[in-house]
Structure 1
Amino acid sequence: MNGKGDSIGKFELSRQVLFLDFDGVLHRLAAVRTRRGIASTSPSIRLFEFAPILVECLAPYGEVKIVLSTSWVHHLGYQRAKNALPPVLSERVVGATYHSKYFDAEMWPSRARGTQILRYVLTHRLTSWLAIDDEIVGFGDYLSHVVICDENVGLGDLRTQDSLRTGLSEQFG
């Protein structure tokens, strides 16, 4: 990826990671790829509409890095997905669960999101991590590490915001 955070060592063992999905989390519902780029599925939905909420929640946790666990990486590539985020979030991104160099691009989307994330957690020997996602399949016994979003409201839901604050405090506080 970017050289930082991809080697396994003492940095990895102590690194604090937030796995971030975009669709159903940072904005409601899913986005679609068009000839002009990525667009929301409804004119009433603004992409990344809830990014300011995530920025606010992460503010007390300056050491937390973001690993993209969104299908945007598979469809657009790592750099374009990372650059789609507001700069204050993008500068925290250190990697992604998907990398075309290591994974069969055709098989990857069929793997459960939890499976993708747990593979990254185990490969990088992470101990402090949290995922924000609207999918829970594949997390098994690690659901305590997941802030579950309803895809219809994402981080716009106050209870989900409370769950995120609690999860951040428990994992990184």
Structure 2
Amino acid sequence: MTGNLACEVLRRNFRRFQLTSPECDGHALFEHADALVEILEPHPRVSIVLSTSWVSVLGFDRAKGYLPQALQKRVRGATYHSTFKSWWDSATRHQQIAGYVMRHRLTDWIAVDDNDVGWPEEKRHHLVHTDEQSGLGDQKAQEILAHKLANGVAK
């Protein structure tokens, strides 16, 4: 949710991590989480699965801990698991998500990601593809996600 791949540089600071490159000025980890809180508010049954490299860097609990409490309550898992580390590191984001979907037999799901590499056309209706710089800070991405949540994932 930072929406800025160049900002994926971390510096440890008193047991917390901070983004630390010139491109990160004005950005924070999961910086658009409040927008997601607002979008999900009318949908109390929606759960979240983290599909982010931050889980492999920080660990599941620490990555989840960077989210607002309203989102933390919704988190049910992560696509990353250390058991699959060698595979996960070489898989596309779509493969990571598809693996989780298959293992957990999900049928009604939406992925929000700035990485659309490897997404087959027949699965793209599950994807809200965001801009890598603005992520969910982009109003259009927010509208698309809200529409999919309100109307179901279009096939």
| TM-score normalised by the chain length of structure 1 | 0.77
Q: CA deviation at 1:138?
A: 2.8
Instruction: Tell me the residue number matched to 1:112.
Output: 92
2:141 to 150, 160, 166: 160
**Residues 130 and 141 of structure 2 are in contact (CA less than 8 Å); yes or no, is this contact kept in structure 1?**
yes
Instruction: Output one character per residue of 1:87-143: Cα deviation in whole Å (capped at 9) or x when no partner.
Output: 11011101001111x21x244222100000001111111111000000012321211
Of Structure 1 and Structure 2, which has the larger fraction of its residues in helix? 2
Letter of the 2:92 partner, please give it.
A
3-state DSSP of counterpart to 1:64:
coil
Instruction: Tell me the residue number matched to 1:144.
Output: 125
Instruction: Output one character per residue of 1:26-47: Cα deviation in whole Å (capped at 9) or x when no partner.
Output: xx44332223243234222233
Letter of the 1:39 partner, please give it.
Q
Letter of the 2:78 partner, please give it.
A
Q: CA separation in 2, counterparts of 1:74 and 1:49?
A: 19
**Residues 132 and 146 of structure 1 are in contact (CA less than 8 Å); yes or no, is this contact kept in structure 2?**
yes
Letter of the 2:28 partner, please give it.
R
Q: CA deviation at 1:61?
A: 0.6
Q: RMSD value over aligned CA atoms?
A: 1.7
Pair 1:98-2:80 in alignment: yes
Q: How many percent of aligned residue pairs carry the same amino acid?
A: 46
1:38 to 11, 14, 17: 17
3-state DSSP of counterpart to 1:35:
strand
2:105 to 117, 122, 125: 125
**Residues 12 and 18 of structure 2 are in contact (CA less than 8 Å); yes or no, is this contact kept in structure 1?**
no
| TM-score normalised by the chain length of structure 2 | 0.86
**Residues 31 and 39 of structure 1 are in contact (CA less than 8 Å); yes or no, is this contact kept in structure 2?**
no
Q: CA separation in 2, counterparts of 1:166 and 1:114?
A: 21
Instruction: Tell me the residue number matched to 1:169.
Output: 150
Q: Which runs of 5+ in 2 are unaligned?
A: none
Q: Which runs of 5+ in 1 are unaligned?
A: 1-21
Instruction: Output one character per residue of 1:1-38: Cα deviation in whole Å (capped at 9) or x when no partner.
Output: xxxxxxxxxxxxxxxxxxxxx341xxx44332223243
2:67 to 71, 75, 85: 85
